Structure 1
Amino acid sequence: MFLNTLLVVLTDLAARFLGSTVFRQHFHLFLSAVVMFGPTLSFWVSQHSVFAKRSHFLYRMFLRSGWGWTCIFVGSFVFLLSFSIRRSLSLSMRHLSRLVVAGGLWVGFCKLLDLLENATGSCYEPLLSGPEVANGQPLLVLREGESKSMCLRAGMLWRGYEVSEDVFLLCLCCLLLAEETAVFGPYLSLGGISGAPLRILFLFCVILLSLWIFLLLCLLAYFPQFPTQLLGGALGCLSWRGLYQGWYRWGPSWFCPGRPGLGLLNTKTNCSEEQNTKLNHDHSN
């Protein structure tokens, strides 16, 4: 009984916060400020911290498979919420298709960024036994005619025009989590039924969102790379704006899955029809 009460209190508070107008309208600005000013944290953090090592458990376990974790928890939450309301598999699949679209966008951008790095990069061989430069790094000798794959297989360094895929992924996942979980607050305020499984999935999504923000701060503070991280964050925010603030506002059709919560927030209610219309309008804004 105590654990169930604690679960209800925590999820109600989180749902009220994520569903608030202030959060929905300003979260992308907060994320942009984190990406822009996060590297300044490198002046205060210790490079001897456990988070200053790329081999840390959080980086290996979550960052390298960030999109998979996001799809598992967000997809489960979206499916359970939509199916428990409408009992329509086609409607649930339509809402889940937003994850498919975002996943395709993520893969496509990664391919393009890889092509860009290949086209603009060059291969360098470090002379470990040669003369050292002033900052203590080994001298790099340009190797002509090497592709990126051949260069890396030979143990050499590839330097090209890079955009941080890690920051791109984390920003996209944070904004996607914020959009997809924001409907839970309005749903509860309309008297929607919410059992323990749905609340647990929602709580996992909130924890995952907090973890992505924490890992983003760690990357910016312990591994600052300007302007590649700034470009990655900008690409993530532009992807979110193009999808959730652009395409998905056209309404559901054969080529558009629609906004999160569309067709769901006006079913479970003890309020008047006017209140339903007002809340759905507020969520769309």
Structure 2
Amino acid sequence: MGAPTENSSNGFSPEITLGKLRKMAAQVILLGKFLLRLLDAALVFVTNSLAGILGSSSMRRHFHLMLSALVLFGPLLNFWVSKYSIFSNGNHFLYRKFLKSTWGWTCVFSGSFILLLSISARHPPSLLLRHLSRMGVVGLLWWCCRRLLTLLEDASGTCYEPVTPSQDIQGPASSVQPLLLLHEEQTRASCLSANMVWRGHEVSQDVLVVSLCCLLLVEEMSVFGLHLAQAKALQRSPGAPLRFIFLLCVLLLAVWMLLLVCLLAYFPKFPSQHLGGALGYLVWRGLYQGWFRLKASPGLPAEGRFTTEEPQ
């Protein structure tokens, strides 16, 4: 009689405690399932809506025009932006983490989307490699453009050394920009390493690659709506991983658009940025509107992918 009385006086009952824990665990599991269903429903709704927007004919026909207008008139935003904004700092996180690795981010996200899309649609490996080869073609062409533009800037540029005006110089001449002393024997690498100024015929590689990546993402993601329609006809689910990577690609597109606006508004360079945007447009036009439409090419994103029959 002493032991039960002692347990009751201490408020400890093993059977009741285990029962409460089971009930709490069951409630937590039910809550977790409810939250997962809610998140899945939100993911399905958002991705279906975005797929409809990106897959629409008006989006594909006019996105490059909108991007061209942004590159053309974007530098005018410099008259309205604040010099004290966080985006006016060249060491901002957005520039340091994304600008120098724009093509890498785009290649990883779009390549993952192509891979998961092929797995979801049960495509053969040959078709997967064919569509992935588009990333290799665009990457190779971007590398060639970057090398050619660098060689052009090195060949056409000249090194200048800033000269501090003498203190005895009086008048308005002392308030103007410091004079520059010419160094003809310097190369671009040695000039910049010596903290001097290199001036040449420059084409903005940043605007080029950001514009090209925006156009590429729209082209590659536009097929997701067709995939959803085919999966519905075959009574299959695309799967949460594919929807999630598609959402990440859309977010990456939004980041590239924001980055492009910041470059044009806070760091305007005429005409190098316009030339970079035009070259990016020409690369996209020559590939997706030209060569990829031919038989001897990797093909367009929707080519050979979508049927209404179950694959054998």
Greater C-alpha Rg? 2
Secondary structure in structure 1 of the residue aligned to 2:161? strand
How far has the Cα of 1:127 moved from its partner?
Answer: 1.1
CA shift for structure 1 position 208: 0.4
Provide the aligned length of Structure 1 versus Structure 2: 266
Matched, 1:206 2:272: no
SS at 1:86's partner residue? coil
Tell me how far 1:83 sits from its aligned partner. 2.8
State how 1:1-285 maps to structure 2 within 5 Å: 1-130=37-166, 136-192=176-232, 193-251=237-295, 253=296, 256-267=297-308
Q: Is the 8 A contact 2:165 2:179 kept in 1?
A: no
Q: Deviations over 1:124-180 (max 9, x none)?
A: 000135469677432111112111111112221110000000000000000000000
Unaligned stretches of 5+ in structure 2?
1-36
> Is the CA contact 2:293–2:300 (under 8 Å) kept in the aligned structure 1?
yes
Q: 1:268 to 1:182 in 2, by over 3 A?
A: farther
State how far apart, in whole Å, the 2-side matches of 1:159 and 1:178 are. 35
Unmatched 5+ stretches in structure 1 = 270-285
Q: Distance in 2 between matches of 1:216 and 1:133?
A: 37
Q: Which amino acid aligns with 1:217?
A: V
- RMSD of the alignment, in Å? 1.6
Amino acid at match of 2:303: L
Q: Give the AA of the match of 1:232.
A: G
Q: Distance in 2 between matches of 1:44 and 1:154?
A: 35
Question: What TM-score, normalized by structure 2, do the two folds share?
Answer: 0.82
Q: In structure 2, what is the Cα distance between the partners aligned to 1:148 and 1:92?
A: 42
- Single out whichever of 191-200 and 64-73 deviates more from structure 2: 191-200
- Cα distance in 1 between the residues matched to 2:99 and 2:161: 29
Secondary structure class of the residue paired with 2:185? coil
What amino acid sits opposite 1:227 in the alignment?
Answer: P
2:273 partner letter:
Q
TM-score by length of 1: 0.90
Conserved? CA contact 1:85–1:267, under 8 Å: no
Question: Once the two structures are superposed, what CA deviation does each residue of 1:207-226 show, in whole Å capped at 9, x if it has no partner?
Answer: 00011001000000000001
